[in-house]
Amino acid sequence: DEKSAYLYLDTARRKQVSGDLGGAVTMYEKFLKIFPRHASALQLAGTAYLLYHKPEKAAKALERATILSPKNADAHFNLGLAYAQIGKKHKSIKSYRTAINLDPNLGDAYFNLGRIYFTDENYAEAISLYLKALEINPSDFQCRVNLGNAYTRSSGTDPKLWHLAWREYEKALQINPNIAEAYGNIGALFRSVDWHSLAIPFYDLAMKVDPANQEHRFIRSGLALSLGDFETGWDDYEARSRFGKKNIRRRPVPPHYWNGEDLKGKRLLIWREQGLGDQIIFSSMIRHVLDLGAHVTLDIHPRLAKVFARSFPGVELLKDTAEGESEIKKPNLFDYQIALGSLGRFFRRRFEDFPRHQGYIKADPDKVARFRAKYQALAKGNRLVGISWQSKREGRFGELKSAPLMEWAEILRTPDVTFVNLQYGDCRAELADVKKNLGIEIYQDTDVNSMGDLDDFVAQVAALDLVLSTSNTTVHVAGSLNVPCWIMPPRGGALLWYWFLERTDNPWYPSVKLYRPLRFEDLSDRAKVLANWWIAPLGRMARDLSAWRSSAVPDASPMQPA
């Protein structure tokens, strides 16, 4: 009867207030079986479903509530929440807009709309919505953080937006000084203009507020390492496996993690991490472990297997599966384990610890000879120069690490040089544009699949006189072979720590020379730097290439690992 029904509704409300959401939704359902058109109960049930993480049921209840009570702004707002949680973005936007039309002071609706547009990379609209939300509730510190994020993402070449972002983070911290995200984001702002020394204290503050946030510690490791603070940097670098970053795993024990114990006669498992470039650069430390008398087993990417088997004959490579899981599941086979990158804690504590090697990766000599003969016949006495201009890293950092091939025009016009394409992936369109617009053909060796097994690619690089590249895997291959390589690293957040700051050489790779973009001398230069990102280093590289080809000996053999 009606009296019993309202007892269900009253019980549902009490259970919802007490946190018994399961009991609450059960009572709401019983009430709605008796009164299925009760708008208020439908709205309450929808809210309970949202809190109970049942967004599909919430949407159904709230749809009915808004039909029965179309001028209820809160019901439309909650329906927007439900739609957002089940991935119906456009319906969510419509519901939030309806809620705002009904109640222009519903600040949370502006805030949630701003989040949707931010995710869609419509930063201008997100900024407008966050500003409106802050007019209604100026003390909403999370909205100020989000507004700062939108300014940061939309800043482009405009230093004013960079300053606005900083201002919003500072305002958020004035309201609530315990926002780790805001400290970290200020650090990221400084990092984006290569002010690493200024960025580090803000990551310190972020970690003080939220010690469990390992991502801030990992970012700080890169800043410290880029400044040559190896003691802090390597210790913080251990955080990379503790916050779910893709391609970085920390395997369970046993075996125990190696922490500097005597390795003579011990069996050490070294497992891979991150990308191919990271595996190549860190593999320079494997010889040190072998020198300590360890029996080393290495988990390496299958694309590097042939190259590493030749380069490290005393090392056993894991096989059977791409991840080497079948071997690693037998912990009794090993005394210790360690991540490849963690070797830096023991073998790269100072700049003096970096050896001036003659190459530690070995190419197949027969393949090198074949590539060399083929290219020399093609070049007819010209110098052989490999070129790579793009990073395949996804997102805006990948874009910052890439220089469009047409911008290399001055370099490509250098006389007495034959260029060989080393860019991995499908780049036929770029090569065709260069041929059409510049009349220059960059040789594409169809016998090499640089996206597959890297053995042929390594031999191809070893057969060249010089490599020109942006920051990508090609540089690691050339540097590890000790082939002369000129690299244009980016600036800001896209700069990987192992290129350090301002150096023209690189301690990891003695054969590498760096050509850096303009510096951010002050923030007003940000527009100048980003608008002319590659012009300055490409110009310097072109002049040096002209001098190099004039002084080079045409019949000189390419550098080979000792």
C-alpha separations of 122 from 62, 129, 395, 470, 535 in Å:
28, 11, 15, 29, 29
In whole angstroms, how far apart are CA 69 and each of 26, 28, 63, 104, 138? 23, 18, 10, 18, 31
- Could you read off the pLDDT of 18-53 as tens digits, one per residue? 999 999 999 999 999 999 999 999 999 999 999 999
- The C-alpha atoms of residue 127 and residue 520 are separated, in whole angstroms, by 26
What does the pLDDT read at residue 330? 73
Which residue in the block uniquely carries the two structure tokens 């599941």?
A: 329
How many CB atoms within 10 Å of residue 323?
Answer: 15
What torsion do the CA atoms of 370, 372, 377, 380 make, to the nearest 10 degrees? Answer: 180
Please enumerate in sequence order all residues whose Cβ is within 8 A of that of 263, keeping only pairs 6 or more positions apart, or say none: 289, 292, 293, 294, 336
The answer for residues whose C-beta is within 8 angstroms of residue 550's C-beta and 6 or more apart is none
**The two three-digit tokens of residue 499, written as one number:** 């290129």
Residues 345, 234: contact at Cβ < 8 Å?
yes
**Rounded-to-integer distance, Cα 96 and Cα 107, Å:** 11
Contact 506, 514 (CB under 8 A): yes
CA 372 to chain centre: 36
pLDDT of residue 241: 80
Provide the token pair at 90. Answer: 């456009």
Q: Which pLDDT belongs to residue 158?
A: 75
Is residue 299 within a helix (H) or strand (E), and if so which, with residue range? strand 295-299
Contacts of 21 (CB under 8 A, 6+ apart): 15, 48, 51, 52
Containing H/E element for 458? helix 455-462
470: β partners: 488
Q: Which residues fall within 8 angstroms of residue 444, CB to CB, at 6 or more apart?
A: 421, 428, 431
> What are the chain's domains?
2-207 (1.25.40.10), 256-353 (3.40.50), 365-551 (3.40.50.2000)
Q: How many CB atoms lie within 10 A of CB 7?
A: 14
Question: Closest by alpha carbon to 156, among 528, 539, 548, 538?
Answer: 528
Long-range contacts of 474-478 (CB under 8 A, 24+ apart): 474/386, 474/388, 474/422, 474/423, 474/424, 475/277, 475/388, 475/509, 475/512, 476/276, 476/277, 476/280, 476/281, 476/509, 477/280, 477/361, 478/386, 478/509, 478/511, 478/512
Per-residue burial over 352-374, b if 16 or more Cβ lie within 10 Å, else e, is eeeeebebbbbbbeebbeebbeb
Contact 195, 520 (CB under 8 A): yes
Nearest to 286 by CA among 357, 213, 364: 357
Low-confidence ranges of the chain (pLDDT < 50): 320, 323-324, 326, 554-562
Q: What pLDDT is recorded for position 89?
A: 97
CA distance linking residue 487 with residue 504, whole number of Å: 10
- Only one residue has tokens 């705002």, namely 100
Closest CA to 12 of 46, 37, 63: 46
- Per-residue pLDDT at 561: 33
Residue 253's pLDDT is what?
Answer: 81
What φ, ψ does residue 418 adopt, rounded to 5°?
Answer: -110, 125
Encode pLDDT of 326-364 as tens digits: 456 677 889 999 999 999 999 999 999 999 999 999 999
Torsions phi, psi of 536, nearest 5?
A: -65, -50
pLDDT at position 155, please?
77
What angle (nearest 5°) sits at the alpha carbon of residue 492, between those of residues 487 and 493? 100
3-state secondary structure of 284: helix
Q: Give the H or E element holding residue 209.
A: helix 196-209
- Residues 64, 407: Cα–Cα separation, whole Å: 58
Q: Which residue has the tokens 């169809």?
A: 446
Residues 335 and 256: their CA atoms lie apart, in Å, by 7
Question: Which two three-digit tokens encode residue 263?
Answer: 């390795």
